[in-house]
Structure 1
Amino acid sequence: MTADVNISLTLFIEYLQIEKNYSQYTIEHYHRDISDFFMFMSEQAISGIEEVQYSDARVYLTRLHENRLSRKTVARKISCLRSFYKFLLRENLANDNPFSLVSIPKAEKRLPGFFYEQELQLIFEACETNTPLGIRNLAILELLYGTGIRVGECVKIRLSDLDFHLSTVLVHGKRNKERYVPFGSFAHDALEQYIQKARAELLKGKEDHGWLFVNFRGGPLTDRGIREILNKLVEKSALTGKIHPHKLRHTFATHLLSNGADMRTVQELLGHSFLSSTQVYTHVTNEHLRNTYRSHHPRA
């Protein structure tokens, strides 16, 4: 393997960071996927990126399938390498894109999971409201369900982003996109209770860093911290399985559409760039309607 290989990867990562403004999480995936392909090149005695042919790309695709990776993972890896070579062509570091004609396997269509209202009620009831941490957890739960924001957006909220007069929160989304999202009376009350009664206790006299949600040490709450909080609430509610924060986002969207909200409004609230990302929730609501019909109609 030549030094040019590593240089090309460094340049591509800088491009993703500076020009594309991708998150660190996404960049790590790109770095890992391309590094895995470099290992394959070494095994195949391919010394330079410009030497990779379409036939090599096909062999690599076969290798991914032999490793029994999911279709989604295979599709991500091939898409990553296609983007990598597209960048190399732009920078005149390669003469061809060997992955341009490699067909990406279609991912399994999985409908997003969501909570029924009765299940969600059990999780809300699992929140203790007589401790600072319990009051904080209820505020997190009400805000996630009441706005549909991502957990990564939730941990980035500062006190100054909240407007209690208008009941809105300024959300800092993906790629530095910002949007205002309204929240309802339940989230309004839970947030006020948390800020007035619990947050100062959790800070424990430390200098206020301005982040809305605080961990038990007084520092800013992390993505992982919220996941642990939600999983403990699910365990306490006696519901089976683990919860991922996106399930509350799915629930928010599904409940809105089930109750008559229009697609464009839900798209804007979720911060989706494309309507197609929001349309998946119509499949959820339609499936729910079909199941209800089959279960209750005499001639279903």
Structure 2
Amino acid sequence: MLISSFLTYLQNEKRYSPHTIQSYKTDLIQFKDFLQANFELEVTVVQTQHVRSFIVDLLDHKISENAIGRKISTLRSFYKHLLREKEVKVNPMLLIKAPKVPKRLPVFIEEVKMDSLLDNAENFEDGFSGQRDKMVLELLFGTGVRLAELLQVKENDIDFYEGTIKVLGKRNKERIIPLHGELIKQLKAYLALKSIENFNNKSTTLIVTNTGASAYPKLIYRIVNRYLTLISTQDKKSPHVLRHSFASSLLNRGADLNAIKELLGHASLAATQVYTHNSVERLKSIYKQAHPKA
């Protein structure tokens, strides 16, 4: 009951996405099951040592530091909520520290490789599915939108007169992203092709399946993985890699970090600053190759 009430709070008050709420639910049920199996305790009588036992159990099961950090963050939010609601008197999370997570640089595809993929018409079939696939890649790389944001874009979210696209980001925050001229032309051509397809139920969602239904996450993952395999041997080939590629390309071309932050829809500049590390590594590589004393 307490978990359900907390999840409702996240949905109605915090306006978290369904995906985020599902993650919270999974973490909390796992914690509740652990308490029952090992201590026969309810979540309202938990003490710090019980949380530490939970973390040790996760480590024993080889759960990654990132995943453990997320679960600890979930529990912190949960017990802060219970404290406000007077369901607990003491917050058992106060002395809990998350394990240190090694910093990882964002994985991205070099701009020249993306150009070679997108500029070669032979990589894409002439029919609707091929042009839809190209549109997915162009939008992810050309705007830096998240997967969830791309799936929600409607046809009328595109303003051809202003040359912009409206997306709904995390916590239902809207933002406007400019579109470059070539992408605008490609969008018009894609929409014209979509309009003449004989779909039984024509969706107003911008990206659709071969039958005209709204696209879904696995479809986008398959599209991205399929085409990035043509130009990259790296293991990670996800929609988020193209978001990283968008940000890295802008930074390498001298874009202001605050502007990149707004385009990506980051809540704080700290989330955007991770891309500067890639830029520094690139400068080091150029220096080593070009400087006579390097």
TM bucket (normalised to shorter chain) is over 0.9
Question: Which position in structure 1 is the counterpart of 2:117?
Answer: 123
Deviation digits for residues 66-105 of structure 1 (CA, Å, limit 9, x no counterpart): 2221111111111111211111111111111111111111
Question: Given residue 239 of structure 1, which amino acid in structure 2 is its aligned partner?
Answer: S
Q: Of 268, 276, 279, which residue of structure 1 is paired with 2:270?
A: 276
Question: Which position in structure 1 is the counterpart of 2:94?
Answer: 100
3-state SS of the aligned residue for 2:176? Answer: strand
Question: Which position in structure 2 is the counterpart of 1:78?
Answer: 72
Are 2:48 and 1:65 aligned?
Answer: no
Question: Which position in structure 1 is the counterpart of 2:232?
Answer: 239
Matching of residues 215-230 of structure 1 within 5 Å: 215-230=209-224
Are 2:173 and 1:166 aligned?
Answer: no
Distance in 2 separating the partners of 1:48 and 1:136: 50
Question: Which position in structure 2 is the counterpart of 1:199?
Answer: 194
TM-score, scaled to structure 1: 0.92
Question: Which position in structure 2 is the counterpart of 1:144?
Answer: 140
Check whether the contact 1:58–1:102 (CA below 8 A) recurs between aligned residues.
yes
3-state SS of the aligned residue for 2:100? Answer: coil
Check whether the contact 1:254–1:281 (CA below 8 A) recurs between aligned residues.
yes
3-state SS of the aligned residue for 2:272? Answer: helix
Distance in 2 separating the partners of 1:50 and 1:144: 44
5+ residue gaps, structure 2? none
3-state SS of the aligned residue for 2:166? Answer: strand
Distance in 2 separating the partners of 1:205 and 1:136: 14
Deviation digits for residues 193-213 of structure 1 (CA, Å, limit 9, x no counterpart): 1111x21244x2424331111
Question: Which position in structure 1 is the counterpart of 2:253?
Answer: 259
Deviation digits for residues 149-198 of structure 1 (CA, Å, limit 9, x no counterpart): 112111111111111122101111111111111011221121111111x2
Query: What is the count of residue pairs matched by the alignment?
Result: 291
Check whether the contact 1:155–1:213 (CA below 8 A) recurs between aligned residues.
yes
Are 2:244 and 1:250 aligned?
Answer: yes
Q: Tell me how far 1:47 sits from its aligned partner.
A: 2.7
Check whether the contact 2:201–2:213 (CA below 8 A) recurs between aligned residues.
no
Q: Tell me how far 1:230 sits from its aligned partner.
A: 1.3
Question: Which position in structure 1 is the counterpart of 2:22?
Answer: 28
TM-score, scaled to structure 2: 0.93
Distance in 2 separating the partners of 1:238 and 1:25: 30
Distance in 2 separating the partners of 1:130 and 1:47: 61
After the TM superposition, list the runs of 4 or more consecutive aligned residues in structure 1 that deviate by more than 4 angstroms.
Answer: none
Check whether the contact 1:46–1:52 (CA below 8 A) recurs between aligned residues.
no
5+ residue gaps, structure 1? 1-6
* Alpha-carbon RMSD: 1.6
Distance in 2 separating the partners of 1:238 and 1:15: 44
Q: Of 181, 185, 195, which residue of structure 2 is paired with 1:185?
A: 181
Check whether the contact 1:89–1:95 (CA below 8 A) recurs between aligned residues.
yes
Check whether the contact 2:32–2:42 (CA below 8 A) recurs between aligned residues.
no
Question: Which position in structure 1 is the counterpart of 2:171?
Answer: 175
Q: Which stretch of the first structure deviates more once superposed, 125-134 or 268-277?
A: 125-134
